[in-house]
Structure 1
Amino acid sequence: MLKPFYIIIFLFTTGSFHAHAQQNLSQALRMQSLPKTYPVLKTEEAIVIDGLNNETAWARAPWSDKFVDIEGDFKPTPRFETKVKMLWDENYLYLYARLDEPHIWGTLTQHDAIIYHDNDFEVFLKPSEHQSLYYEIEVNALNTIMDLMMAKAYRIGGEAIMHWDVKNLKSAVHIEGTLNNPNDIDSYWSVEMAIPFTSLGTFGRSPTPRVNSFWQINFSRVQWQHIIENGEYKRKKENGKLVAEDNWVWSPIGIINMHYPERWGYIQFVEHIDKDSYPKSQTIEQAAWNIFYLQQLHFAGNNRKYSPRLETLPGFEKILKPQVSGIKHRITINKDKTFYKSELLDPANHIKVTIDNFGNYTISYEQ
């Protein structure tokens, strides 16, 4: 039974905004898996960034779950295994990724080239729950880096800030095999990075995470089918078009789009590994974003109008009803129903979240 209260406030506004995202209810349903979690162990040992995981500290760090298809478990298991480890100290987030690969190749050597045109490994980082700002780092087997900053996701009007760089990033690639040699079978390539906290910080906030604090993070592997032409690897084409790449990720999104930071996994910066945990805000945040997704579907199917009541949203029974149990909800909507703002309150954890049809999102902790 739905327990939240509703207050419907009519405002007089003009214009509307609808972000492009999931297109139907089946896609929204696929976006309901719990995000992955990983405890990042603090280390006092110096980590040499050489593409290897030789240090004792790496032996103490657990492997992540194996990567799956970006759309989730209903898709085939990836052909090649991928997994990561992470560590941290006062200055860096360290990561080590191993990508099994029988044919290791790469062509791009210019910084900020579109690295996913090669097979690549990608890191997505969102350090603050209070900001929409996030970062992306891509690397290929040649250790060529593309890095960018997003003020907000593409689907809600964000644009890539390509001139931004991860200042003082350290990265290295190790190849167990031979690069760009189609005459043998390779084993794997690995990526090791030290990502400086100071390069991800914002004014007025300490760049080093607090012990037991959370970040949102995800990893992606883009894998192309290939042919060998004149002794060189080429991306495979059929009927003159490139065969679509595979997208393998640590924490599945549900649709083929990595730019859903609210669907990424969580890392927790710990001094001792106990058990995986989620931030207290995870449930209310997921509920807020599901309201956003389902309002978009309602908008598309109801003459470009949003709903003043959750119960009328498509997928309410399957998706929202169990999530909003015990959560209070208030909606502000204008007279012609082209604008809404939802406010959710979790009394048990004293957390308030707001979200509107523009994708503007806030979270606060009430006393």
Structure 2
Amino acid sequence: MKTRFVHGPSKINRKQMALKYVVNLGLLILFVACTGQETSDYTVEAIRTPSPPVIDGIEDDPIWQQITPVVLKENRTGNETRNVAIRTQVKSCYDDQTLYFFFLCNDPDIWTSFTQRDEHLWENEAVELFIDVDDEPETYVEIEVSPANVLFDSYIVDTLNIDVPETALFNLEGIRTAVEVSGTLNERNDKDDHWTVEIAIPLADLGNENIPQVTTATEMRINFYRLDENQGKERMYYAWSPTVDRFHKPASFGRLIFK
């Protein structure tokens, strides 16, 4: 059963050398502590599409057939997801005005309890997408979509102290999303197959005080996530560029390359 929801020399004696080493080591430790960790070297290519995909949650548009997906890993360990039944894949493309993303989430138990925009989707099953257009680690857009095509969108301004009600007041005016469920949504006792999410985000909606006008020439950092909890199983967290713990770790975001 399928259900669709559309909606950045002088000589030194040994003591001096040792002192210099200790000072440099201390500065290095301080730098790492301030930045959190080294910047991720993950990159994903967004392919230019000659015609926009139809936002219906279905992967039948010609552009999606041309793209090799990235596969999400277990966030805590960085290990590949060997179980195909719960694997998550993501594809990206773009045109001059819009970014497009397609998530394929294999899932034997598809469910969500949320029905309203900006509810706490991360407490159930959802996919997440973080986009940073100004390479400032404190500011980025967070997007979440549930299997019922409920949307959560927010603008983060302090990654360590997120005021959820305040950030959720932010809305991407032109965003479009669609979900198709291959299975029975919220029927916990049967076996489902997968759900797909298609997202269209106008570049104009991503501008902020640092980068007022976002274009395909803008350098972007990005990460993809999925929250999955199947009946009787441990809750799982997946990421394209793993963060080890909480998802809100901008240093772990990868790079989006416009090809």
Question: Could you tell me the TM-score, scaled by structure 2's length?
Answer: 0.78
- TM-aligned CA deviation for residue 256 of structure 1: 1.1
Whether the aligned pair in 2 keeps the contact of 1:91 and 1:197 (CA below 8 Å) is yes
Paired position in structure 2 for 1:108? 114
How is 1:59-138 mapped onto 2 (pairs within 5 angstroms)? 59-64=65-70, 66-73=71-78, 80-130=86-136, 132-138=138-144
Contact 1:68–1:249 (Cα < 8 Å) also in 2 = yes
Corresponding residue number in structure 1 for 2:248: 259
Match runs of 1:19-30 below 5 Å: none
1:45 aligns with 2:35: no
CA apart distance, 1:102: 1.0
Distance in 2 of aligned mates of 1:200 and 1:188: 30
Deviations 1:54-105 (A, max 9, x none): 11111122211x2111123369756710010000111111000000011112
> Per the alignment, do residues 21 and 34 of structure 1 end up closer, same or farther by CA in structure 2, a change over 3 Å counting?
closer
Q: Which whole-Å CA distance do the structure 1 matches of 2:66 and 2:81 have between them?
A: 31
Find the partner of 1:191 among 170, 186, 197. Answer: 197
Residue 109 of structure 2 contacts residue 231 of structure 2 at CA under 8 Å; is this kept in 1? Answer: no
C-alpha root-mean-square deviation of aligned residues, in Å? 3.0
Over 3 Å counting, the alpha-carbon distance change for 1:58 and 1:207 in structure 2 is same
- Residues 105 and 196 in structure 2, CA contact (< 8 A), matched pair in contact too: yes
Task: Provide, for residues 156-192 of structure 1, a one-character-per-residue CA deviation record: whole Å limited to 9, x for no partner.
Answer: x453411001111100001112212245321100000
- Answer yes or no: is the 8 Å Cα contact 1:68–1:77 preserved in 2: no
Q: How many residues align?
A: 228
Q: In structure 2, how many angstroms separate the alpha carbons of the residues matched to 1:102 and 1:263?
A: 29
Q: Is the 8 A contact 2:188 2:231 kept in 1?
A: no
Q: Which amino acid aligns with 1:219?
A: F
Per-residue CA distance 1:262-291 (angstroms, 9 max, x = gap): 111111112xxxxxxxxxxxxxxxxxxxxx
Which residue in 2 is equivalent to 1:247?
237
Match of 2:215 in 1: 208
CA-CA distance at 1:130 after TM superposition: 4.8
Identity of aligned residues (%): 26
Find the aligned partners of 1:113 and 1:41 in 2 and give their Cα distance: 32
Distance 1:247 1:45 in 2: 34
Q: CA deviation at 1:225?
A: 4.1
The whole-number CA distance in structure 2 between the counterparts of 1:129 and 1:175 is 35
Give yes or no for the alignment of 1:159 onto 2:163.
yes
Structure 2 contact 100–198 (Cα < 8 Å) conserved? yes
For residues 141-156 of structure 1, the aligned pairs below 5 Å read 141-154=147-160
Kept after mapping to 2: 8 A contact 1:134/1:152: no
Between the aligned partners of 2:180 and 2:148, the Cα distance in structure 1 is: 9
Change in 2 beyond 3 A, CA 1:136/1:152: same
What does the per-residue CA deviation read over 1:201-222, in whole Å, with 9 as the maximum and x for residues that have no partner?
A: 1256322221xx5311111111
What TM-score does the superposition give when structure 1 sets the normalisation length?
0.56
Q: Which amino acid aligns with 1:259?
A: H
Q: CA deviation at 1:32?
A: 5.8
Secondary structure of 2:86 counterpart: coil
Q: Is the contact between residue 111 and residue 146 of structure 1 (CA under 8 Å) also seen in structure 2? A: yes
Cα gap change, 1:220 to 1:130, in 2 (>3 Å): closer
Counterpart residue type for residue 68 of structure 1: K
One-letter code of the match for 1:221? Answer: R
Partner SS state of residue 125, structure 1: strand
In the alignment, is the contact (CA less than 8 A) between 1:69 and 1:77 conserved in 2?
Answer: no
Spell out, residue by residue over 1:117-154, the C-alpha distance to the aligned partner (whole angstroms, 9 max, x if none). Answer: 22111111111125731011111110011111111312
Larger Rg: 1
Partner SS for 1:165: coil
Q: Tell me, which stretches of 5 or more residues in structure 2 are unaligned?
A: 1-16, 25-32
Residues 69, 191 of structure 1: CA spacing in aligned structure 2 closer, same or farther, 3 A cutoff?
A: same
- State the AA in 2 paired with 1:248: Y
Question: Does the alignment pair 1:269 with 2:258?
Answer: yes
C-alpha displacement at 1:33, in angstroms? 8.7
Separation of aligned partners in 2, 1:48 and 1:75: 31
Deviations 1:223-244 (A, max 9, x none): 12435xxxxxxxx8xxxxxx6x
Distance 1:35 1:258 in 2: 17
